[in-house]
Amino acid sequence: MKDIVYKPIGIIRTPFTESEGMPIQTKFSDAEGSVVLPLKYMNGLHGIVDFSHIILIYHFHKSKDFELQVKPFLSTKTVGLFSVRAPNRPNPIGISVVELLDIVSFKNEVKLEVKGVDMLDETPLLDIKPYIQEFDCFRNAKSGWYEKREIAKTKSDGRFTKED
């Protein structure tokens, strides 16, 4: 199989310098941050201001080696890696839906101010997509082992971050 190579298009700035204590999902985060892009991507943002939320696709730059069986934050039982959203993966790619607050351009960059960040500061951004409720929200979807968990107040305990 041929290698796939992605280059970051920008960087995500957040108040989180370490994973311990940070939100584990954007829906339960009030934290604000910004998505910083080189000005050359400005034309690609045309129309994005009309969306209330955007999907950020990024690289988990602090992830550790992955295990195929993991114990997630919300369970005492081990489950398969592909049934959790942990950052330690064969391809450490993350997705988060954040609220788009504002877009500001400077001399050499454009900054998207966002709310609901759940990633570490200086996370490399791979792509941005609009969140479209009609496409991205499935009624009656099952949530597997996550169902009936007390997720809203759960914070990261740092278990998925590289040791420096």
Residue 70 included in any domain = yes
Residue 152 included in any domain = no
pLDDT in tens, 19-66: 888 776 777 788 899 999 999 999 999 999 999 999 999 999 988 888
Count the domains in the chain.
1
Number of H helices, E strands in the chain: 1, 8
What residues make up the domain containing 100?
10-133
Which amino acid is located at 162 in the chain?
K
Using alpha carbons, list the distances in angstroms from residue 81 to 85, 95, 101, 122, 159. 8, 16, 33, 25, 14
The CATH number of the domain holding residue 64 is 2.40.30.70
Residues 58/33, Cβ–Cβ less than 8 Å: no
pTM for this predicted structure: 0.83
Residue 49 included in any domain = yes
The segments of the chain whose pLDDT lies below 70 read 24, 73-74, 143-164
Q: Which ranges in the chain belong to alpha helices (H)?
A: 133-136
Residue 143 included in any domain = no
Residue 158 included in any domain = no
